[in-house]
A and B are shown apart, each in its own frame.
Chain A
């Protein structure tokens, strides 16, 4: 390899070796294609994978309408069609199983894989034209779905916009069509493209190839890695790799830049059809789009996903947390694409197309009550919000309806003047209080989507949440902004407080909220968003895997407000004291005064009984909302209450534990503090904040029932709760049903149920799979006229004959024994009835389907080290339950979930018990 290596080399196309893992040699074929552009006058030979013959062998008529269509798959740099072996295999398997038959045609681009080496420099427009020449030569007929990865994504989109009559859908894996001006291209590419480095890293050595293959997460098997390398064994085979890197349009002077711009604009047109044309015209439906993304990609990261999401707002997107550039290798993309095609292609334009919720005549925007109170002279100067957390010795901060409304209006107009538009995402890293309230309502009012992530996620979880939702704007306090700066979170940064210039500079902050309000004073407001527009993204606790963003529309948030108001009888005069963030923000939307007690909201256990009493006194509120963690401390600090404090608390008529259901003793303790209040402990989750509710009296009634689990009461308002029965394998496969006494996954429907998960299409599919089409009547009949949204909660439990819901654990904690599935909560309650047991967890050890139930207990007094329980305790625990327990283990302390102090981390405990009972050296769980 001396001077010869640098000269352009040519080589014929060939078939790949016959023994590459996962690649069926019968898919490979060579196609002669009349050249276009720089190849005009020459035939070029391509290698491609084509499943037509395999389908024919499987008895699928490949020509006369037997096919659903063709998936045209285009690899990027430096891979080859081997990347698509899974979708080739799975599509044939699906067709054999009687599912829609998709033919897969996956090309090796010229100079790449096993296609011809022409030695010519190919630009983006040439490659787009090459692909069109290839499909012409193949005489590809019928609907085509393009599927592209990396630069193959761009080229596949070029083909897509040039073949609108054939195009059925587009699917993309980690790619990009636009790079914002002024932002440097990602460092790895910058380096590879640098003069001198380019030839060395891409052609003369296998460095670029090796680096790309090393991105797979988890790592590729050695034989798979070797298969990816197979066509690129020598420098003269790798010319195309260097050529591709050299063709990256780093700026507008690059020869391929105009073509990239043309494709970017064309893609936006594919997605714009909904916005411009009449919704009932089939021709105007947007082209279905799917994006499957590995966000750990050092090159095509979330920035590019966000850009594509803006261009294709209707796209179904799934971010595989932890996956990287080679997402097709990292995660099961093939079944995801095929399942999506089943749902999406043919659905569009057909009857039953994605139905937008009908416009609800009763829809009252969240900000409307605030506006009307401010506009009514009698109420304008009454207090809307009280912030008690103003520091030691200072008086509470009171904001009137008029002030709040003006503030909201000015910030809204200011944000609009700054360029914030409907659908833009604004991450709020602000503690609850008047500032958060004003910013929140301002964002809602202009249709900006607020992203609310709880500081409790921790820095790592928060970073993942913020990066995943890719906000355009971050409004935060000093700490949040410092984190945003240090961790490279996206978005323009605005400070919620006025910062000294140096600090603002250091934090990369352009403005404070006050500056924004000043900017907006007297400026016009844009049109208000409608009920179907997205309003907010709330993050789940992350107690079961990475936190998920949950998207709510304005209609759904308003419904939440209406349900809460109706259920608790909240009127303008009620007043709320709220120590729980999501509900604290609903005060102005309910048109009633809200007060936040003096506490550190990120540490709910700092709330004292005195602080609650002070907030009640200041607001004269009749309703108090507290989180379970806060309640614990409030009860523990009750001794410090004065006579006046107690008198104020005696005026409270309703108390709500919000966040997680709490037990009877704690509810009773609260009832003693607020003797005239009805204590409620509702059941809900981030995806549906209010599902069912039970009062203290209800809890006492339930205690007499023979049911196992925690009774969380009956569904609130129009909510429906069904149970999807567990099968013998522990999967919730039963048709969701109101039948009592059946253990299964809890499936809920409510007007205020979430819209969807953010950029988690597969999670959406899983959360709504096999749910009813409409409301389910008492006899189990489904009424069709009103389509209803459902959600699988992941909680398991049962309904009783009175319609009460009993929670018995999480579906991933079901113990599948040889005798069938078993829920942990019931046996745990029984075990906790043993005298020496303080808290208990029941977990499974051994293989799925054969698990043995094991009790792990905290004792009084606490054990000094983990190990087997002594024979007496073992016997006592076994005597409490019918369930055969293989072992009783003691631990000094059960591991609890970071976010919910009360929730035992059963998954971790199960792994620990598995190790212990395999005979491992004793250790703490």
Chain B
């Protein structure tokens, strides 16, 4: 099948594009920088640019049959308008173009945070996306985008939404690098002893799950699925595992979760003040309320529907993933 993957220069996007190639598909990618994935045809540009999007889908006259939409603005802070432009309007542009071109399968890569209300989640399925309750601009705009995509599900174009939860692996700059970097500086506290049980997804599993959603779109369309390793672990265990793999000292300071949340709220407000973020070196805020909640409440998921409907199981366990991460750091 001819498939367009957007956002293929990102950590997860690269992996998805590589999995698509490995599955024998003819893969085109759309992002601003070269994807660096062997065997794909890169189209450079933004999903917010309708003409570039139309070109990427139509290609050289042979339109793609499937779209895997990963491109998004992912961040804990930033201009709300940027989030909306990329995450909501970018998705709309892509859906419009896909419909026009007669694309039959559309996989919207979403996030469990679209349905995360800040409370503890234990063994729940993919509850409906809720922009009005989502925490932060990223989650809110991703929730809108998911609803938008699923609303376009039809007999002609099967739309599936998948929500990989906390994707990690060697080469990840979003999570792993930040954790390791901060741990090196002793700046990762555990909230309430780090006991909150959370699901994560090793990058290869996330990629194979997304490809499975494309393959099974005829059976799974119209639904959203959370994708995880299905091995919930305490957040403290995971942080320790990552740090040990990277050869840095695991976090050992515990803060009460309530304090972490309060601090997160304060920092968010400070970061919103003019110049503060810039003076801090343009870095992301060290703690947000959303992050504090993520680190102090359980969120793990019922994977039974996902595995059945997508006919998919993860192949890399957390322990194996950590071994691969350690090997990655050992190579330097």
Contact = CB atoms under 8 A, between A and B. Distances in A.
Contacts of B195: 867-868, 887, 889, 916-917, 919-920, 922
Nearest to A921: B192
A846 B300 contact: yes
A918 B237 contact: no
Nearest to B125: A850
A886 interface: yes
A847 B122 contact: yes
A405 B88 CA distance: 94
Interface in B41-85: none
B304 A922 contact: no
Given A917-B234, A919-B120, A818 B303 contact: yes
B228 to A, nearest CB: 12
Contacts of B321: none
Contacts of A868: 193-195, 234, 236-237
A871 B122 contact: no
Interface string B295-326: 01110101110000000000000000000000
A41 interface: no
Interface string B233-258: 11011001100100000100000110
A145 to B, nearest CB: 44
B300 A871 contact: no
A9 interface: no
B123 A846 contact: yes
Contacts of B191: 919
B197 interface: yes
Interface string B123-162: 1000000000000000000000000000000000000000
Contacts of B297: 918-919
A427 B190 CA distance: 57
Given A846-B122, A871-B250, A887-B197, A920 B192 contact: yes
Nearest to A868: B236
A256 to B, nearest CB: 58
Contacts of B194: 868
A917 B234 CA distance: 7
Contacts of B296: 919
A884 B197 CA distance: 14
A45 interface: no
Given A850-B302, A919-B192, A919-B297, A887 B231 contact: no
Interface string A808-824: 00000000001000000
Contacts of A845: 122, 197
A142 to B, nearest CB: 49
Interface in B220-279: 230-234, 236-237, 240-241, 244, 250, 256-257
A486 B18 CA distance: 79
Interface string A881-925: 000101101000000000000000000000000101111111000
Contacts of B298: 917-919
A852 interface: yes
Interface residues of A, number: 23
A917 B236 contact: no
A871 B257 CA distance: 21
B254 to A, nearest CB: 8
B109 interface: no
A381 to B, nearest CB: 70
A852 B231 CA distance: 9
Contacts of A914: 122
B237 A919 contact: no
Interface centre among A851, A874, A920 (most CB of B within 10 A): A920
Contacts, number: 79
B196 A917 contact: yes
Contacts of A919: 120, 191-192, 195-197, 257, 296-298
Nearest to A889: B195
Nearest to A866: B193
Contact of A886 (B233, B250, B304): B233
Interface string A856-894: 000000000001100100100000000010110100000
Interface in B5-34: none
Contacts of B303: 818
A884 B241 CA distance: 16
Contacts of A867: 193, 195
A922 B194 CA distance: 10
A886 B257 CA distance: 21
Contact of B237 (A818, A851, A874): A874
A886 B300 CA distance: 11
A918 B231 contact: no
A884 B237 contact: no
Contact of A918 (B122, B236, B240): B122
A886 B297 CA distance: 15
Contacts of B197: 845-846, 852, 886-887, 917-919
B240 A871 contact: yes
A914 B300 CA distance: 13
Contact of B233 (A847, A887, A889): A887
Interface in B163-195: 191-195
Most B CB contacts (10 A, CB to CB) among A871, A884, A918 go to: A918
A65 B120 CA distance: 56
B97 to A, nearest CB: 39
Interface string B194-226: 111100000000000000000000000000000
A871 to B, nearest CB: 5
Contacts of B230: 818
Nearest to A887: B234
A809 to B, nearest CB: 22
Contacts of A874: 237
B225 to A, nearest CB: 15
Interface in A769-828: 818
Contact of A922 (B192, B250, B300): B192
A845 B240 CA distance: 22
Interface string A15-41: 000000000000000000000000000
A917 B299 CA distance: 10
B324 to A, nearest CB: 17
Contacts of A850: 123, 302, 304
A497 B257 CA distance: 61
A917 B240 CA distance: 16
With a 10 A CB-CB cut-off, give which of B123, B240, B241, B302 has the most chain A CB atoms.
Answer: B123
Contacts of A918: 120, 122, 196-197, 297-298
B300 to A, nearest CB: 7
A30 B50 CA distance: 72
Contacts of A920: 192, 195
Contact of B241 (A851, A871, A886, A922): A871
A156 B270 CA distance: 75
B193 A922 contact: yes
Nearest to B244: A871
Nearest to A920: B192
Contact of A852 (B192, B232, B237, B244): B232
A918 B304 CA distance: 21
A871 B248 CA distance: 13
Contacts of A886: 197, 231-234
Given A847-B302, A887-B195, 10 more contacts: A818-B230, A850-B302, A852-B123, A852-B232, A868-B234, A871-B244, A886-B197, A918-B120, A919-B296, A921-B256
24 contacts: A818-B303, A845-B197, A846-B123, A846-B300, A847-B122, A847-B302, A851-B123, A852-B123, A852-B232, A868-B193, A868-B234, A871-B244, A887-B195, A887-B197, A887-B233, A887-B234, A918-B120, A918-B297, A919-B120, A919-B195, A919-B296, A921-B192, A921-B256, A922-B192
Interface of B: 120, 122-123, 191-197, 230-234, 236-237, 240-241, 244, 250, 256-257, 296-298, 300, 302-304
Interface of A: 818, 845-847, 850-852, 867-868, 871, 874, 884, 886-887, 889, 914, 916-922
Ranked nearest first, the 9 interchain pairs of A and B with the lowest CB-CB distance are: A919-B196, A850-B123, A846-B123, A917-B197, A918-B120, A847-B123, A918-B298, A919-B297, A867-B193
